[in-house]
């Protein structure tokens, strides 16, 4: 045992959720200690890594894993550049699941991506910050599927707004989520390509609206406005997008102490169900014990349940906070299908943010009793590199290459869906029998996609065809059935609920089993809805922090 630290509040993980919890609680005067598994990084360092990366389609290139805090990477084979660019997500080619860290139990691959560094995964996100719809909170009552949340949209609304102000959200008001106050900012200027989508799809009954994002359309909170340079993933070079690195810095400025390279591997309890300490390894594998009054676990939807399961004891043989057996279960994400086609107009994707606009009309409706709802999302990533690689792979060279490349760079575009996957207990994170360099178990995932999703994919295909028709599209390329790109929205593994028998935390994020252990992050979401989950996770986090501050 090397030494012993102590704080009123001990936060595990310095991602957006952990750091924002820490900042808020540090401002109450409590002593706050953040234990972060990964190293410190700076933005210029990350930009440099990316600039010198040989494969620009590898969005994990700026984020090499440290040996003591590994995260999944998918080298050497990432599929074609088009696979990555068109869907904004890294994915495995069919049948390939190896990545050296996240062990795959199938039957579907679950190639989740996340980053273990100070600030966490939002360093390389798309910064979508959507609110759920009110009906998303009660799909069991309304449509007979999934689960109802133990709280309502109206209860979360003030925390949504607080999260939007904190992270600097810009958006269009017409996305179906009622608001008491306007967005902190107007949307970022519409790109030419998105304008053409909006104009050509409107007569077909498709309203194309600006995405709601934590991206500055004006100078905000000491950061500059978006300059439209189209590098949002894997990193915005000017911090026009909010990210967890900013949250971590704000937590430290508010008085929280942040300890990097501290890999928490055990949660300790007393005989009275209270959590007394956590233990972490430093990179020399020296063990340290940290005591506290209140603990907040914010290590993400895979590493948090892993830690709870790893902390099994004689009293809790199934792990901490797991009397329900639900820790690690109900894993959800947003697997996407897509259509790539050549539009009639010259669109020239690549000016402005990478992910600027959506169609929101299919996010809710009575059809949800039959198949998943979904959002339709347009990419705006420059097609030059993807088209070049695809053409060369197809053996096109010389003058013909230049001709076809010019055409594709101007006309090629893509639409994908973001569908709701239902919570299923058999979809889960467990401990594998493989070990990382510190000797800790690597996580293993079981992932299955049922008919509720497959029917939605069939419905989406019809919408894609109609959209392509309205855009005068040719050369239509659908993703093959069953081959879906993952969206890295890890949800459900420590689900929130009123009943301790089938949920892990209560509506305030407090574990049912341990009164001084709270969980923050997307893992507490009982259902997935059709939007990127981080705004909801941050809103829930603020609600949790307020609860901790008042108890």
Ligand X SMILES: Cc1cc2nc3c(=O)[nH]c(=O)nc-3n(C[C@H](O)[C@H](O)[C@H](O)COP(=O)(O)OP(=O)(O)OC[C@H]3O[C@@H](n4cnc5c(N)ncnc54)[C@H](O)[C@@H]3O)c2cc1C
The structure tokens 């997008």 sit at: 241
CA 62 centroid distance within chain: 18
For helices 192-201 and 451-470, angle between their N-to-C axes, nearest 10 degrees: 100
SS3 of 422-443: CCCCCCEEEEEEEECCCCCEEE
Measured from the CB atom, is 409 or 537 closer to ligand X? Answer: 537
Measured from the CB atom, is 124 or 514 closer to ligand X? Answer: 124
Q: Does residue 74 interact with ligand X by CB under 6 A? A: no
Stretch that binds ligand X, among 137-145, 174-182, 266-274, 531-539 (CB under 6 A): 531-539
Residue 521 binds which entry of ligand SF4, ligand X, none, with Cβ cut-offs from 5 to 8 Å by kind?
A: ligand X
Measured from the CB atom, is 244 or 328 closer to ligand X? Answer: 244
Q: Does residue 92 interact with ligand X by CB under 6 A? A: no
CA 33 centroid distance within chain: 24
Candidates 196, 215, 306, 514; binder of ligand SF4 (CB under 6 A) is: 215
**Shortest Å distance, C-beta 180 to ligand X:** 22
Q: Does residue 16 interact with ligand X by CB under 6 A? A: yes
Candidates 58, 85, 113, 342; binder of ligand X (CB under 6 A) is: 113
Say if residue 331 is exposed, middle or buried (CB neighbours under 10 Å; 0-12, 13-18, 19+). Answer: buried
Please list, residue by residue across 29-66, b when 16 or more beta carbons sit within 10 angstroms of its beta carbon and e when fewer do.
ebbbbbbbbbeebebeebbebbeebeeebbbbbbbebb
Token digits for 305? 């349940």
**Shortest Å distance, C-beta 491 to ligand X:** 8
- Which stretch of DSSP H or E encloses residue 265? strand 263-269
Q: Does residue 134 interact with ligand SF4 by CB under 6 A? A: no
> Is 489 considered catalytic here?
yes
SS3 of 162-191: HHHHHHCCECCCCCCCCCCCCCCECCCCCC
Candidates 11, 17, 61, 163; binder of ligand X (CB under 6 A) is: 17
Q: Does residue 533 interact with ligand X by CB under 6 A? A: yes
Name which of residues 327 to 356 contact ligand SF4 (CB under 6 A). Answer: 353
Q: Of 516, 513, 539, 26, which Cα lies nearest the Cα of 524?
A: 539
Name which of residues 219 to 248 contact ligand SF4 (CB under 6 A). Answer: 226-232, 236, 238, 240-241
Q: Of 229, 321, 318, which Cα lies nearest the Cα of 269?
A: 321
Q: Does residue 432 interact with ligand SF4 by CB under 6 A? A: no
Residue 191 binds which entry of ligand SF4, ligand X, none, with Cβ cut-offs from 5 to 8 Å by kind?
A: none
Name which of residues 341 to 400 contact ligand X (CB under 6 A). Answer: none
Stretch that binds ligand X, among 72-80, 99-107, 124-132, 216-224 (CB under 6 A): 124-132
Residue 15 binds which entry of ligand SF4, ligand X, none, with Cβ cut-offs from 5 to 8 Å by kind?
A: ligand X
Candidates 61, 193, 299, 517; binder of ligand X (CB under 6 A) is: 299
Dihedral sign for Cα 527, 532, 536, 537, please: positive
Is the CB of residue 102 less than 8 Å from the CB of residue 231?
no
Measured from the CB atom, is 238 or 249 closer to ligand SF4? Answer: 238
Token digits for 365? 């409706």
Dihedral sign for Cα 61, 65, 71, 77, please: positive
Is the CB of residue 327 less than 8 Å from the CB of residue 321?
yes
Is the CB of residue 376 less than 8 Å from the CB of residue 358?
yes
Residue 228 binds which entry of ligand SF4, ligand X, none, with Cβ cut-offs from 5 to 8 Å by kind?
A: ligand SF4
Stretch that binds ligand X, among 119-127, 282-290, 389-397, 497-505 (CB under 6 A): 119-127
Token digits for 125? 């996100």
**Shortest Å distance, C-beta 213 to ligand SF4:** 8
Q: Which residues bind ligand SF4 (CB under 6 A)?
A: 215, 226-232, 236, 238, 240-241, 353
Q: Which residues bind ligand X (CB under 6 A)?
A: 12-18, 35-38, 59, 69, 113-114, 116, 120-122, 124-128, 233, 244, 263-264, 298-300, 303, 307, 488-489, 521-522, 532-534, 537
Catalytic residue set: 489
């Amino acid at each position: 045992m090397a030494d012993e630290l102590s704080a009123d509040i001990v936060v595990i993980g310095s991602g957006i959720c952990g750091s924002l919890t820490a900042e808020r609680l540090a401002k109450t005067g409590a002593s706050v200690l953040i234990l972060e598994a990964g190293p410190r990084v700076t933005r210029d360092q990350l930009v440099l890594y990316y600039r010198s990366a040989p494969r620009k389609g590898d969005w994990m290139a700026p984020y090499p894993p440290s040996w003591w805090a590994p995260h999944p990477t998918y080298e050497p084979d990432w599929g074609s550049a088009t696979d990555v660019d068109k869907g904004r997500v890294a994915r495995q080619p069919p049948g390939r699941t190896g990545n050296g860290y996240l062990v795959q139990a199938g039957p579907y691959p679950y190639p989740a991506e996340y980053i273990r560094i100070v600030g966490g995964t939002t360093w390389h996100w798309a910064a979508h910050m959507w609110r759920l719809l009110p009906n998303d909170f009660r799909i069991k009552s309304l449509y007979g599927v999934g689960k109802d949340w133990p709280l309502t949209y109206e209860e979360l609304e003030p925390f949504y707004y607080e999260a939007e102000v904190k992270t600097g959200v810009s958006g269009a008001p017409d996305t179906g989520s009622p608001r008491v106050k306007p967005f902190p900012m107007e949307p970022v200027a519409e790109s030419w390509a998105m304008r053409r989508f909006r104009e050509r799809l409107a007569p077909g009954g498709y309203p194309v609206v600006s995405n709601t994002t934590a991206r500055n359309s004006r100078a905000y909170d000491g950061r500059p406005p978006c300059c439209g340079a189209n590098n949002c993933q894997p990193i915005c070079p000017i911090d026009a997008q909010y990210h967890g690195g900013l949250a971590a810095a704000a937590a430290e400025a508010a008085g929280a102490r942040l300890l990097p390279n501290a890999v928490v591997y055990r949660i300790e309890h007393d005989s009275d169900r209270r959590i007394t300490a956590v233990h972490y390894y430093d990179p020399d594998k020296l063990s340290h014990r940290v005591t506290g009054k209140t603990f907040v676990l914010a290590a993400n939807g895979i590493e948090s349940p892993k830690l709870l399961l790893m902390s099994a004891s004689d009293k809790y043989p199934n792990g901490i906070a797991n009397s329900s057996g639900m820790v690690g279960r109900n894993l959800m994400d947003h697997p996407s299908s897509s259509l790539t086609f050549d539009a009639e107009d010259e669109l020239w994707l690549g000016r402005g943010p990478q992910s600027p606009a959506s169609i929101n009309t299919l996010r809710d409706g009575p059809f949800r009793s039959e198949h998943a709802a979904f959002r339709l999302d347009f990419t705006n990533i420059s097609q030059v590199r993807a088209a070049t690689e695809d053409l060369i792979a197809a053996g096109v060279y010389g003058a013909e290459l230049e001709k076809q490349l010019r055409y594709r760079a101007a006309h090629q575009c893509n639409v994908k869906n973001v569908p709701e996957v239902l919570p299923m207990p058999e979809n889960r994170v467990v401990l594998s029998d493989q070990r990382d360099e510190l000797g800790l178990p690597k996580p293993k995932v079981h992932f299955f996609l049922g008919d509720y999703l497959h029917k939605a994919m069939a419905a989406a295909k019809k919408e894609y065809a109609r959209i392509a028709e309205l855009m005068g599209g040719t050369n239509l390329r659908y993703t093959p059935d069953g081959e879906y790109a993952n969206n890295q929205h890890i949800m459900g593994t420590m689900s929130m609920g009123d009943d301790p028998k089938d949920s892990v935390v209560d509506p305030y994020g407090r574990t049912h089993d341990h009164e001084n252990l709270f969980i923050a992050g997307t893992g507490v979401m009982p259902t997935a809805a059709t939007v990127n989950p981080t705004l909801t996770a941050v809103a829930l986090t603020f609600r949790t922090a307020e609860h901790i501050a008042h108890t």
